[in-house]
């Protein structure tokens, strides 16, 4: 997350920096991205950049979180519209997310993000809803708190085999990992099966959700 210094900047300057980040991170992935190009486009000094962010990875995932804030609202709305059914809401959320990621205005950024995602990347992009946030700064704490409250507000716990908020968070992270890993697979399907890549991706997602919801083991039948 950015420092408090960044959040104290005028909104116009914050936007200028994020616009520069969007341009560079849509051009290339995180590893190839150039801080020099970002600071030149944003019209700030290198020293100022490091007052705002720890490094380019810090900026990269913060920019992703600015995109995800809208997606989070979509998710909460989807669950609410399904009367608190977490699994049905996640299905609707996935199918609403796909056009934005693959054909929307930020498609190049998303392509670089998912095509180069490793275990560390998954850890950074899956919404962080931990209960213990003592070491986070103010803005991160507020973000986590809102996510927790939103999820608890709309999810019907009576439909789930979970005992408390901590278990709900574990389940939610599993579902979000399923969403993001399936999207990552979708890019590979596009290359392997140009005419049916999206269909394969969607089918794969629904299979995973079915297994998470109902289990993958067949019941044994006895005579």
pLDDT by residue for the chain (223 residues), tens only, comes to: 789 999 999 999 999 999 999 999 999 999 999 999 999 999 999 999 999 999 999 999 999 988 877 778 888 999 999 999 999 999 999 999 999 899 999 999 999 998 888 877 777 776 554 444 444 455 666 666 777 788 888 999 999 999 988 898 889 989 999 998 999 999 989 888 888 888 999 999 999 999 999 998 887 766 5
Q: Residue 105: how many CA atoms within 13 Å on its side-chain side?
A: 4
In this prediction the pTM is 0.80
Beta strand ranges found along 103-161 (DSSP E): none
Cβ-count burial of 183 within 10 angstroms (0-12 exposed, 13-18 middle, 19+ buried)? buried
The 10 Å Cβ neighbour count of residue 131 is: 9
Share in percent of the chain as helix, strand, coil (round to 5): 75, 0, 25
Q: What is the largest CA-CA distance in the chain?
A: 77
């Amino acid at each position: 997350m950015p420092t408090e210094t960044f959040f104290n900047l005028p909104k116009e300057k914050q936007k200028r920096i994020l616009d520069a980040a969007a341009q560079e991170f849509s051009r290339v992935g995180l590893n190839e991205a150039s801080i020099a190009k970002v600071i030149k486009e944003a019209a700030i000094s290198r020293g100022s950049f490091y007052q705002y962010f720890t490094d380019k990875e810090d900026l990269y995932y913060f920019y992703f979180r600015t995109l995800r804030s809208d997606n989070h609202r979509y998710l909460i709305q989807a669950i609410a519209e399904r009367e608190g059914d977490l699994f049905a809401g996640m299905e609707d959320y996935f199918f609403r997310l796909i056009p934005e990621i693959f054909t929307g205005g930020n498609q190049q950024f998303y392509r670089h993000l998912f095509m180069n995602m490793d275990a560390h990347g998954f850890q950074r992009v899956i919404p962080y809803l931990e209960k213990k946030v003592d070491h986070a700064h103010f803005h991160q704490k507020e973000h986590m708190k809102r996510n927790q409250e939103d999820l608890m507000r709309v999810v019907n716990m009576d439909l789930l085999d979970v005992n408390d908020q901590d278990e709900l968070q574990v389940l939610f992270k599993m579902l979000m990992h399923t969403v993001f890993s399936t999207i990552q697979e979708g890019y590979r399907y596009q290359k392997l099966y140009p005419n049916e890549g999206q269909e394969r991706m969607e089918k794969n997602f629904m299979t995973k959700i079915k297994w998470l919801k109902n289990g993958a083991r067949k019941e044994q039948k006895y005579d």
